[in-house]
Structure 1
Amino acid sequence: MAAVSALTAATVALVGLAAPAHAADPVLRDLAAAKGIYYGTAVTSSKLSGTYGAVTGAQFDSITPANEMKWGTVEPNRGSFNWAGADRVVDFAEANGQQVRGHTLVWHSQMPNWLANGSFSNTELRTIMTDHVTTEVTRYKGRIDHWDVVNEPLNEDGTMRGSKFYNQLGESYIADAFRAARAADPAAKLYINDYNTDGTGPKSNGMYSLVQRLKAQGVPIDGVGFQGHLILGQVPATLQANLQRFADLGVEVAITELDIRMTLPATDAKLAQQKTEFKAVTNACLAVARCAGVTVWGFTDSDSWIPDVFPGEGAATPYDAGFQPKPAYYGIAEALGWTGDGGGGDPTPTTGCAVTYAVQSQWNTGFTANVTVRNTGSSPVNGWTLRWTWPSGQSVTQAWNATVTQSGAQATAVNAAHNAAIVPGGSATFGFNGAWSGGNTAPGAFTLNGAACAVALS
C-alpha cells in the first residue's frame, strides 16, 4: 500500500488496515464495544508505527504498556523520572480513541536497583512507595482508565508473597498503595492483578480472601485482574465460575494478560484448538456482567514474551509474526458476535468495501472533504456506519449526506435516509467540513459496519 503522509487537493486512496489482512476481517474493538466490553492488547511503545501501529489502532480499544510504566522504567534513580515510553503509549491511545490500562505501580519484580537493594526503615519504605504511586498516577490523571495498582502479591498456595514490601510492611502495603492511587486520581478504576488465579484453587482462594479483607477495611479496590497466561489444553473449566464469584464481591473483573502458548511447531490441529480456547475465554468474560474486558498480552507472535521464557513454546497470540490473523483471532471475533466463515483461511465475505477520501479545499485552520464508500461485495448493504480515527487531532465541524459524530480522535459517520442502501458495485458519498492545526495527516483506517475496508485506487 502506498504511504499517505498528508492530505492535498488531490483524491487519496486509503486502506482499512495497513496490515495484509483480508477484506472482510472483523474489527475486534467494534464487536467488543457492541457487547459492552473492551478488547485490548499489551504494546511495546517503540513499535507503535507502521503495520504494528496500524493493527493496534484499528483492532483494539484498550492498550496496556508492557513495560513502560513499571517502576524500574519510570524511576530508574530515586526521584528522577523517565516518562518517554509511557507518554508515547498514552499519546497513541488518545490519538486512536483507546483506553489505557496502567501497568503496574507496585510489584516485586522489575524494581530499580536503588530500591531492590536499598536499605530503608519501614517508615521510609512506605513513604517511597506511596510517593511513587502518587507521582505516577498524578502525571496521568484523567488519562488512565484502569490501574494495576498491586501486581502479583501471592504465592502459588495463596499465601502472601515475601516481597520487599510485604516483608517490611506486611499486608498493609497493599491498602496504602490503593489509597494513594485513589487520592491521586479518584476517577481511575483500581485493580489488583495476579497470574494462576484464573480457575478455582489455592491461589485464587487466597486472592478471594485478600479482596474480602481489603473491602472490609474500606480499601478503594474496584477490580481484580486475572492474567490468563494459559497453556493449550489447560484452560480452567472453572474460569467463568471463578470470575463470577469475584464479581459477586462487588468488584469488576477482567482478563488482563491473555495468551495461550503451545509446544512448537504450531500445527493446524493446535491452532484450531487454540481458536476454541481463545473463544472460550472471551465467552467467559461475556457471561459475567461485571467483566470489563479482555486484554491479550501482545497481539502478534513477533512481540510475545513466551519464547524467551519458555524455550520451545510460543505461537501464543492471535496474529502470527507476519501480522496475519490466526484462527484464534476469528475465535475471538466469533465470541464477540461475528458471523464470518470461522477463520483459519480467507473468509468468504458477504460484503466488502472500498473507501476513497478526497480533500476538496484546505485553508489555515480548516478543510472540506468528500468520502465515497463503495460496496465491493456480492450482497447489498442496508444501512451503514463508517468509522475512522484522526491521526493529527482533526475534528469534524459540519457534515452533509451523513450524520458524523466524534469521540476523542474517533469519528463515526451514519448514513442519511436517502443513501442507506448500497447495492453491490454501488457507492454512497458524503462530505464534511473539518478543523485542523499543526498537521492534516490522512486517517489510516476505515471500517464499514465493523469490517475493514480494502484499498480504493483513484
Structure 2
Amino acid sequence: MSFFSAKPQLASENDSLNTKNELQVEFKEAYKDKFHIGTALNTRQIMGGEPGAMQVVKQHFNSIVAENCMKSSRIQPEEGEFDFSIADKFVEFGEQNDMHIHGHTLIWHSQAPEWFFLDKDGNTVSREVLIQRMKDHIFTVAGRYKERIHSWDVVNEAILDDGSFRKSKFYEIIGEDFVKLAFLYAHEADPTAKLFYNDYSMSNPKKREGVVKMVQKLKEEGVPISGIGMQGHIGINHPGLEEFEKSIVAFGNFGEVMITELDLSVLPSPWGDAGAEISKNFEYKDEMNPFPNGLPQEVQQEFSQRYLEFMKLFLKHQNTISRVAFWGVNDGNSWKNNWPIRGRTDYPLLFDRQNNPKPVLEDIIRLPGKN
C-alpha cells in the first residue's frame, strides 16, 4: 500500500538469524490445501539487508508481493527509463524458493510519476497520449515477467468509499475506460497471468456496491479479470466481520478473492476506521502512541482474538479465497509505524521485531485441523 518506511530498527532487533519459540509446523504448510500464505517484501529485504526476516519468509510463506519496487514511480521514474534492478531480484528470490509471485501494481494513481500525465511543456497530456503511455508501461513491465509473475494487481484503488470512481488523473484524462484498457493490455502482455483489481475499505457497503458495479460491467464486456483483492488493513474494532464476509461473498461471484495487505493495527485511528488513503497524515501526539514499549496483556489478547476471528472467516471461504497476504514480515518493517501518524510503534503482524512468531500464530496454525 504505502511508500512509507518503518522507523529504523537496530540490527539486533530486526536482523536476528535465530528466532525463539520455534513453531512445530510451518505457517504455509498448515494452509497448503487452503490458500497461499503471502507476505510483502521491502527493498532492504530484497537486497539482502535483513537475513533474519528472509529466513522467516522462506520458512513460513509460499507467496510474495513487492511492497514498493514494482510501482510505476520506482520502475519508470522517467519516460522510457526503466529500472528493473530490484524487481528482478524480487522475482528471482520467488523463483529460487518455488513461491507464488504476485505483482503490485501496474496502474495506481498514488505512486505514478508526474511525467506520466504531462507533456514537455508541463501541460496535461491528451487522452490518446496517456493511453499510449499506460500501454507502453504495462507491456514493458508485465511483458518482462511474462510467465514468471503468476498474478498482478492491474489497477489499484480506483473506487472511493462512496462507490464512485476516484477522480484521479487516469480517470480525468481517459475516463473510466482506463480500468478496462489496463486489464486488456495486461492480458495481452502476459496471457498466463491472473489479473486482479485491488482496493482498501472493501467491507464498506457503498464501496462494495461500486466495485461490484465496475467489475460486473468489465465482465460483461469480456474483460479478462480473474478476481478482486481485498486489502486487509484492519483494526481492533473495525471493520465488522459481518460486512467483511458480505464482501467476500459478493466479490466471489466474479472469480477469485485475495486478502491482500493484511495487518492489524492496535493503535487509535485519527478517523476511527480502517482506511488506507495514504494522502491523509496527522500530527504526532503522545496519546496516539499508547504502547511505545510493548503491548499490555489485555491488548495482546484482543489482538490474538481478532486475528483468529479473521483467519476463521478466511478458512470458511477457502473455496473462494486463493491467497492471504500480510503487508510485511515483522512489526519493525510495517508501514503502520509511520501511517497515518509518523513515529508511532505498532504491532500489526504475526512476527515481532526480533522475527519471533507471536503466540497467536500457533493458534492460527492449528485452525485448519479444526475445519
Taking structure 1 as the reference length, what is the TM-score of the superposition? 0.67
Match in the other structure for 1:67:
68
| Alpha-carbon offset, residue 285 of structure 1 | 2.1
Q: Counterparts of 1:71 and 1:153 in 2: how far apart (Å)?
A: 16
Question: Residues 68-92 of structure 1: CA distance to partner in whole angstroms, max 9, x if unpaired?
Answer: 1000011011011000111111111
- Cα deviation for residue 117 of structure 1 reads 4.8
Output the CA distance in 2 between the equivalents of 1:309 and 1:64. 20
* Distance change >3 Å, CA 154–CA 323, structure 1 → 2: same
Q: Give the counterpart letter for 2:20 in structure 1.
A: A
In structure 1, the residue matched to 2:200 is: 195
1:108-187 equivalence runs, <5 A: 108-118=109-119, 119-187=124-192
Aligned to 1:422: none
Paired residue for 1:256, among 252, 255, 260? 260
Q: How far off its partner does 1:200 sit?
A: 4.7
| Match status 1:40 vs 2:38 | yes
Give the Å deviation of 1:256: 0.7
SS in 2 for 1:310: coil
| Structure in which a larger fraction of residues adopt strand | 1
Q: Which one of 210, 225, 228 corresponds to residue 224 of structure 1? A: 228
The corresponding residue for 1:355 is none
Deviation at 1:26, TM superposition (A): 2.7
The Cα offsets for residues 351-406 of structure 1, whole Å up to 9 and x where unpaired, read as: xxxxxxxxxxxxxxxxxxxxxxxxxxxxxxxxxxxxxxxxxxxxxxxxxxxxxxxx
Alignment of 1:301-316 (within 5 A): 301-311=331-341, 312=344, 314-316=346-348
Task: Tell me the equivalent position of 2:219.
Answer: 215
Contact 1:304 1:316 in 2 (8 A): yes
Does the 8 A contact of 1:101 with 1:147 survive in 2? yes
Any conservation in 2 of the 1:317–1:328 contact (CA below 8 Å)? no
Aligned to 1:320: 352
> Any gaps of 5 or more consecutive residues in structure 1?
1-16, 340-458
Paired residue secondary structure (1:272)? helix
Conservation of the 8 A alpha-carbon contact between 1:275 and 1:330: no
> How many residues get paired?
320
- The secondary structure found in structure 2 opposite 1:260 is strand
Q: 1:331 to 1:109 in 2, by over 3 A?
A: farther
Contact preservation (8 Å) 2:53, 2:329:
no
Please say if residues 252 and 320 of structure 2, whose CA atoms lie closer than 8 Å, have aligned partners that are also in contact. yes
Return the letter of the residue paired with 2:74. Answer: T
The one-letter code matched in structure 2 to 1:157 is D
In structure 2, how many angstroms separate the alpha carbons of the residues matched to 1:180 and 1:233? Answer: 40
CA distance in 2: counterparts of 1:331 and 1:274, whole angstroms:
13
Query: For residues 24-54 of structure 1, what are the alpha-carbon distances to aligned partners after superposition, in whole Å with 9 as ceiling and x for unaligned?
Result: 443111111133x100000113224411111
1:332 aligns with 2:364: yes
Q: CA deviation at 1:147?
A: 0.1
Q: Shift in Å at residue 331 of structure 1?
A: 4.1
Residue of structure 2 in register with 1:440 after alignment: none
Two-structure CA RMSD over aligned residues (Å):
1.8
Find the structure with the greater CA-based Rg.
1
Alpha-carbon distance in 1 for matches of 2:210, 2:359: 35
Of the structure 1 ranges 84-93 and 268-277, higher mean CA displacement relative to structure 2 is found in 268-277
2:27 aligned with 1:28, yes or no? yes
Contact 1:282 1:294 in 2 (8 A): no
**Which structure carries more helix by proportion?**
2
1:310 CA displacement: 2.8
Aligned to 1:283: 312
SS in 2 for 1:47: helix
Structure-2 separation of matches of 1:163 and 1:127: 17
- Kept after mapping to 2: 8 A contact 1:279/1:334: no
More deviation in 173-182 or 287-296?
Answer: 287-296
On the 8 A contact 2:131/2:178 being kept in 1, the answer is yes
| Structure 2 unaligned spans of 5+ | 1-15, 268-289
Normalising by structure 2, we get a TM-score of 0.82
